[in-house]
Homo-oligomer: A and B are copies of this chain.
């Protein structure tokens, strides 16, 4: 127990973040209000200022927690997937990303909200996002080492992979592709990420 001993409330900062997330999931990000959050936690309207310089700082903290949760979920999936089939492992990682997004849609929206677009203002947030990216890069490199991923700059490949899963997540959350079940859409997208849009010359059927 280091300086974690709370003074008055008992770790108000985390309580505010939790309440903020709860509020966002109930009524959406635009409904997030410093005063309402303070009300829910049971402190006065100015108390949050001791922990968050402004509203954007609170949003950034919620987003940061989201990235950490996403990273943890991906890391867990990565560890539990069979290491000997690298393509499956990478695939599982992509599915995990989208799954997390669908499980916490509002949270993901916060993570990529315009309100925290300027990540240079929120270094902690930038670091958390970077960590997620690095998980992906690591898996790409491992896939390349085992011959399951095409050669090339791992940064470029992982950027493409991240683009796909992230775009997939966003579009599903926004209901742009709601005509079929989310799971099917995820599978289709990850398949395409794996195989490409161009026809494969050898007429070899892959699993779907």
Partner-B contacts on A (CB < 8 A): 28-30, 56, 87, 90, 106, 109-110, 112-115, 117, 119, 129, 133, 140, 143, 147-153, 155-157, 159-168, 170-171, 173-177, 179-180, 184-185, 188-189, 191-200, 202-207
Contact = CB atoms under 8 A, between A and B. Distances in A.
Nearest to A208: B152
B192 A157 contact: yes
A186 to B, nearest CB: 10
Contact of A167 (B143, B156, B167): B167
A188 B164 CA distance: 12
Copies of this chain, count: 2
B114 A28 contact: yes
A171 B166 contact: yes
25 contacts: A30-B114, A90-B197, A109-B114, A113-B114, A129-B176, A133-B176, A140-B197, A147-B205, A147-B207, A150-B195, A152-B188, A156-B180, A156-B184, A157-B188, A157-B197, A159-B171, A160-B189, A160-B191, A160-B192, A163-B168, A163-B170, A163-B189, A166-B167, A192-B196, A196-B198
Contacts of A140: 197
Given A109-B114, A112-B170, A193-B196, A204 B203 contact: no
A198 B198 contact: no
Contact of A147 (B160, B167, B176, B203): B203
Nearest to A28: B114
